[in-house]
A and B are shown apart, each in its own frame.
Chain A
Amino acid sequence: MAAGACDTVCASRLTPSRTGLIMSLSSEDVAKIAHLARLGVNAEDLQSYAGELSKILDLVDQLQAADTAGITPMAHPLDAVQRLRPDAVTESDQREAAQACAPVTQDGLYLVPRVVE
């Protein structure tokens, strides 16, 4: 799922607190986040998600107090770098096997609702 331009706009519409971070999400915020994640959430569940997600953000807010000036972010525990391999064909065509687990296919293609009107 590609994130469109709208997503950036939607995210920036989340209302930041004084510290620049949101510690308490509203139902509206949850609806926007759910959209970013392409996750359907029933209107009646938005409030409870807002409460739960706010509690989780409260928990992670402790990170803001950590002094990380000059610290390099850690992407891999052993600081390993991406392994390279020769650019050679090593796999045979497994399309049928791969598509056997798809919900709907036709003539070797995955079917989705019409995207171009």
Chain B
Amino acid sequence: MHDLGVAALARGLQDGTFSAEELARHFLDRIGRLDPALNAVITVAPEERVLESARAADQARSAGSAHALAGIPLLHKDIFCTRTLRTTCGSRMLEQFVSPYDAEVVERCRTAGMVMLGKTNMDEFAMGSSNETSYYGQVANPWDTDRVPGGSSGGSASAVAARLAPLATGTDTGGSIRQPAALCGITGLKPTYGLVSRWGMIAFASSLDQAGPLAPSAEDCALLLGAMAGFDEKDSTSVRRDAEDYPAALTQPLSGLRVGLPKEYLADGLDDAVRNAVTEVVRFYESQGASVQEVSLPHSHLAVPAYYVIAPAECSSNLSRFDGVRFGHRCENPDNLEDLYKRTRAEGFGPEVKRRIMIGAYALSAGYYDAYYLQAQKTRRLIQQDFVQAFEQVDLLVAPTTPETAFRHGEKSDDPVKMYLSDINTIAANLAGLPALSMPGGFAHGLPVGVQLIGNYFDEGRLLAAAHAWQQESDFHARIPEAFQ
């Protein structure tokens, strides 16, 4: 059952080939047997509770009142608050934290009748590109367990690639859905900022954070996005607009599509395998009647520097809530309030989170705000204007998701700046708030290569359709690593 796509699983459930309970047992069994090699899941939901919600989905289906996704199992990134399972955010700070409410994304998936199997591993507070900053241990890439799955949604990507679940949720602040999707050989979409509610999603950098789906195929991502997306009164940045039928959008034709190749993303120094994958995808679109032209995004080189001011600044503010008073870790026997704050935070946060908090506190401190934060926010506008101009000429951009394939554990963990450059191709879409997805574009030395599609605001349907068309032509997304078949 784990080699079927979500649409096929839903058909199987509907025609009684298998029940949601059988499906849930199958994936729980796979998690139990296969996750020890990956460490992709921090908390597995108690079996009885999983089976209970699966049986409820079975009943809804037999009563004819079920949502299309009823009974489909999924994993949530451990950044989404859940009432029934702890939410650690990959941090010691929240080791025992159980939220009094569910995140809106969790609530929507549950309302659709989806069955939560557990919570996936992630870089601590979503700060990382390799899943090595998690307090709960590093995650392995199922294509080569000596290598990283990417991050920060590395647990979600690794679990889906190994088919421990058909679907997983993730969040993307600077590439945290797309980069691990690329490194693990699956499809992952970061929607337009404001499309999916951030309510109950632990905040890292609020002006950049956005939740989205990870799945083997674009079709499966479309199904999950349909369940996740929509206006939410409780999120002040949620955008009010009519709901879209993403699965229905998948079949739109490619003829007449105007494809842009941003030259700054294809400069010298790019891995040949990555360049070839991009070329193959573009050639395919041309063969389907799309036109292709080179475009320029001249401020691309400023994306990483702007991001490493804006994201740390917002994180230093967001993470000030972890003070040992209202929730989370608290140090033993504090001498006074300042000691309580300082020791609680020293013990609760890991080194990468501390680095980013300090960079943010520094960038926002008196006398430096204009030079750092304000200048970064102005640069962000320049980066957005590049895209606005490009989208006057083309409908979507094709680019590499990452400059290289999955790297080895430890390869970049002692050099923060080297690690930051793993996200060099993904950060700009967050700064501009644009939707972008990564899809499998090929393999190099047995490792997956990701190709990124960046679209105009709220053009998720077109991105998913373009990825779906490629996936009708190729089978990279359907391949399962040998040890996990």
With beta carbons under 8 angstroms apart, the residue of B97, B360, B368 that contacts A101 is: B97
Q: Which residues of chain A are within 8 angstroms of B377 by Cβ–Cβ distance?
A: 73-75
- Which of B39-47, B327-335, B463-471 is the contact stretch? B327-335
Contact A68 to B382, CB < 8 A, known contacts A11-B366, A74-B377 = yes
Q: Which of B284-312 contact A (CB under 8 A)?
A: 299, 301-302, 304-306, 308-309
A39 to B358 CA separation, bound complex (whole angstroms) = 8
- Judge whether A59 and B236 touch: CB under 8 Å: no
State how many residues of chain B have any CB contact under 8 Å with chain A. Answer: 77
- Judge whether A75 and B207 touch: CB under 8 Å: yes
Q: Which of B1-44 contact A (CB under 8 A)?
A: none
With beta carbons under 8 angstroms apart, the residue of A11, A64, A113 that contacts B365 is: A11
CB distance from B333 to the nearest CB of A (A): 9
A16 to B299 CA separation, bound complex (whole angstroms) = 27
Is B68 an interface residue, CB under 8 A from the partner? Answer: no
- Judge whether A74 and B381 touch: CB under 8 Å: yes
Q: Which residues of chain A are within 8 angstroms of B97 by Cβ–Cβ distance?
A: 101
CB distance from A40 to the nearest CB of B (A): 3
Is B196 an interface residue, CB under 8 A from the partner? Answer: no
With beta carbons under 8 angstroms apart, the residue of B301, B342, B381 that contacts A62 is: B301
Q: Which residues of chain A are within 8 angstroms of B359 by Cβ–Cβ distance?
A: 53, 56-57
- Judge whether A63 and B345 touch: CB under 8 Å: no
- Judge whether B384 and A77 touch: CB under 8 Å: yes
Q: Which of B206-230 contact A (CB under 8 A)?
A: 207
CB distance from B328 to the nearest CB of A (A): 7
- Judge whether B378 and A74 touch: CB under 8 Å: yes
Is B409 an interface residue, CB under 8 A from the partner? Answer: no
A42 to B377 CA separation, bound complex (whole angstroms) = 33
CB distance from B255 to the nearest CB of A (A): 30
Is A106 an interface residue, CB under 8 A from the partner? Answer: no
A72 to B382 CA separation, bound complex (whole angstroms) = 9
- Judge whether B366 and A71 touch: CB under 8 Å: no
With beta carbons under 8 angstroms apart, the residue of A68, A74, A97 that contacts B384 is: A74
Contact A102 to B308, CB < 8 A, known contacts A1-B320, A55-B416, A83-B236 = no
- Judge whether A77 and B346 touch: CB under 8 Å: no
- Judge whether A72 and B381 touch: CB under 8 Å: yes
Is A112 an interface residue, CB under 8 A from the partner? Answer: yes
Contact A49 to B207, CB < 8 A, known contacts A7-B365, A101-B97 = no
A64-101 vs B, CB cutoff 8 Å, 1 = contact: the mask equals: 10101001111111101011010000000010011011
- Judge whether A63 and B361 touch: CB under 8 Å: no
Main secondary structure of the interface of B (DSSP, over half): helix
Q: Which residues of chain B are within 8 angstroms of A77 by Cβ–Cβ distance?
A: 192-194, 207, 384, 432-434, 457
Q: Which residues of chain A are within 8 angstroms of B267 by Cβ–Cβ distance?
A: none
State how many residues of chain A have any CB contact under 8 Å with chain B. Answer: 60
- Judge whether A78 and B361 touch: CB under 8 Å: no
Is A28 an interface residue, CB under 8 A from the partner? Answer: no
Q: Which of B391-421 contact A (CB under 8 A)?
A: 415-417, 420
- Judge whether A102 and B327 touch: CB under 8 Å: yes
CB distance from A1 to the nearest CB of B (A): 5
With beta carbons under 8 angstroms apart, the residue of B340, B375, B416 that contacts A52 is: B416
- Judge whether A12 and B366 touch: CB under 8 Å: yes
**Chain A residue nearest to B97 in the complex (CB):** A101
CB distance from A43 to the nearest CB of B (A): 12
Q: Which residues of chain A are within 8 angstroms of B304 by Cβ–Cβ distance?
A: 59
Contact A56 to B308, CB < 8 A, known contacts A63-B376, A78-B433, A113-B335 = yes
Is B323 an interface residue, CB under 8 A from the partner? Answer: yes
- Judge whether A78 and B358 touch: CB under 8 Å: no
Q: Which residues of chain B are within 8 angstroms of A100 by Cβ–Cβ distance?
A: 98, 100
- Judge whether B368 and A38 touch: CB under 8 Å: no
25 example contacts (A-B, Cβ-Cβ < 8 A) are as follows A8-B366, A11-B368, A30-B358, A37-B357, A37-B361, A38-B342, A40-B342, A41-B354, A49-B354, A49-B355, A55-B415, A57-B362, A59-B305, A64-B371, A66-B382, A77-B194, A77-B434, A78-B433, A80-B237, A82-B236, A83-B236, A98-B100, A101-B99, A101-B328, A115-B336
Given A14-B365, A62-B305, 17 additional A-B pairs, CB 8 A:
A11-B368, A37-B361, A39-B357, A39-B358, A40-B343, A40-B346, A53-B359, A62-B302, A63-B309, A63-B372, A66-B299, A68-B375, A73-B374, A77-B432, A78-B433, A80-B194, A97-B100
3 cross-chain pairs, A with B, having the tightest CB-CB distances, nearest first: A77-B433, A40-B346, A73-B377
